[in-house]
């Protein structure tokens, strides 16, 4: 069944342009509010946001939609996506909403929904909400005396800070660590520095002065050079870069060298196996994770279970198989003992705990496997067209798979958030990998217009 509004991670688009308009936000609030109204209790929704200017437009529209369905609204202001998920469950709300476009530039925004258990909604539920959004909901509006109320929850940041800190044993301290922390001028700009400082770290801040327009601008997990350069300049021990809604993280060592999500997941997974914390004897990750990670886990008696791209698909598989570590190469790391979704700050603390347990600099401890050469290129296409169905492209992909002959793999997929086709290949031979990617890209570009 085709989707009109929801993509791989909620609804997303350019602010004040369909579908990211106040009108659509109102419909989301109405539809989701009605869908999650079950029983006779007073229903509640938690709404958080990042620091984008357009949040001031979308937040009141959502409030109007939910209150029109009789739901009380609890506003927590700028807070990380995982904080909204956590607060939804801990405050026993019926639904949670995060207003954010994650790592996208400021002009974009998005709406993510969480169920009462703090987990992202399934495809089935999203499609049911979509269908309701396009229907006449006037008959569902509550009577005037049943309208919901809205209030600010002033202590929400403190609740999240304590929850994140409690994920570390009391014996673990960050005393003596100099950390460069890049909050991307986003949702974690206030809470993340406090967490690290309260745990004893010497924190050098980047991206903690949001102005509504500078979220993810040359900073954060998608612009890691800023963090890497600052680590070298400050002679810091480690760098941490979050994205705009703080559900993903990238880190670097004392040499300013990046440590990607695959390395971080491999580090935590094998450490948790040694300490008896790991469940399922496996790591759940997406099809994008490096083949080197898979081989490393196998050498440690562990499995890599792959899902399609999207952290909610990772979480669904983790829940089905009772695994407690999962994530994406991009830095969405889900540690389900502590959180129901990716949490960049919490994940970085678990990595720091592993590093504190080992002797040696971060550069030596953090790289647990040698990644295979992997190349990813994006090809923009005309929205509505389908270059992947063209015979020349199909033949090029088939030829590439035969060329690897088991020594690598090819992955071609459409982006769920923009009209891009992502072409990825990896294998033992770097030259062959590059030739294969370039060949497929050329064929797609020839028919993409």
Q: Please name the residues in contact with 380: beta carbons below 8 A apart, sequence gap of 6 or more.
A: 419, 420, 448
SS3 state at 300 = coil
Cβ count near 377 (within 10 Å): 16
Q: Which stretch of DSSP H or E encloses residue 49? A: strand 44-49
Which segments of 235-375 does DSSP mark as H helices, in order?
A: 261-275, 291-299, 311-321, 344-357, 362-365
CB 247 within 8 A of CB 344: yes
Rounded distance between C-alpha atoms, residue 403 and residue 392, angstroms:
16
Which of 100, 102, 221, 348 is the catalytic position?
Answer: 102
Q: Are strands 72-78 and 150-152 parallel, antiparallel or unpaired?
A: parallel
CB 73 within 8 A of CB 66: yes
Rounded distance between C-alpha atoms, residue 241 and residue 351, angstroms:
13
Q: In the block, which residue shows the tokens 């678990």?
A: 350
Q: In the block, which residue shows the tokens 């003596």?
A: 176
Let me know if 102 is a catalytic residue: yes
CB 219 within 8 A of CB 180: no
Q: How many residues does the chain have?
A: 449
CB 341 within 8 A of CB 247: yes
User: What amino acid positions are annotated as catalytic residues?
Assistant: 102
């Amino acid at each position: 069944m085709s989707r009109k509004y929801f993509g791989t991670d909620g609804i997303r688009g350019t602010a004040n342009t369909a579908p990211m308009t106040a009108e659509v936000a109102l419909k989301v609030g109405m539809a989701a509010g009605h869908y999650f109204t079950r029983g006779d209790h007073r229903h509640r929704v938690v709404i958080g946001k990042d620091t984008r200017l357009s949040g001031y437009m979308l937040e009141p529209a959502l409030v109007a939609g939910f209150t029109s369905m009789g739901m009380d609204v609890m506003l927590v202001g700028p807070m990380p996506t995982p904080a909204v998920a956590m607060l939804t469950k801990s405050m026993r709300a019926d639904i949670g909403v995060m207003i954010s476009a994650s790592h996208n530039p400021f002009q974009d925004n998005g709406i993510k929904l969480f169920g009462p258990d703090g987990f992202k909604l399934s495809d089935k539920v999203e499609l049911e909400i979509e269908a309701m959004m396009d229907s006449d909901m006037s008959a569902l509006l509550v009577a005037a005396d049943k309208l919901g109320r809205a209030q600010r929850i002033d202590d929400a940041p403190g609740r999240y800070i304590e929850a994140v800190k409690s994920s570390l044993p009391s014996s673990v301290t960050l005393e003596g660590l100099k950390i460069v922390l890049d909050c991307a001028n986003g949702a974690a700009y206030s809470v993340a520095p406090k967490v690290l400082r309260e745990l004893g770290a010497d924190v050098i801040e980047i991206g903690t002065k949001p102005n509504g327009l500078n979220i993810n601008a040359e900073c954060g997990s998608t612009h890691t050079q800023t963090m890497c350069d600052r680590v070298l300049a400050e002679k810091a021990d480690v760098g941490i870069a979050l994205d705009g809604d703080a559900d993903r993280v990238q880190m670097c060592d004392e040499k300013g060298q990046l440590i990607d999500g695959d390395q971080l997941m491999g580090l935590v997974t094998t450490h948790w196996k040694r300490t008896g914390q790991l469940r399922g004897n496996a790591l759940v990750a997406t099809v994008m994770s490096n083949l080197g990670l898979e081989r490393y886990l196998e050498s440690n008696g562990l499995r890599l279970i792959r899902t399609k791209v999207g952290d909610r698909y990772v979480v669904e598989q983790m829940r089905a198989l009772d695994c407690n570590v999962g994530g994406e190469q991009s830095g969405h790391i889900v540690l389900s003992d502590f959180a129901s979704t990716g949490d960049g700050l919490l994940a970085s603390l678990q990595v720091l705990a592993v590093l504190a347990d080992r002797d040696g600099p971060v550069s030596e401890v953090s790289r647990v496997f040698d990644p295979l050469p992997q190349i990813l290129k994006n090809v923009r296409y005309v929205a509505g067209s389908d270059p992947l169905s063209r015979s020349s492209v199909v033949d090029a992909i088939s030829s590439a798979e035969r060329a690897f002959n088991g020594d690598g793999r090819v992955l071609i997929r459409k982006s769920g958030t923009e009209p891009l086709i992502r072409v990825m290949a990896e294998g033992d031979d770097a030259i062959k990998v590059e030739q294969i990617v370039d060949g497929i890209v050329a064929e797609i570009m020839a028919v993409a217009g």
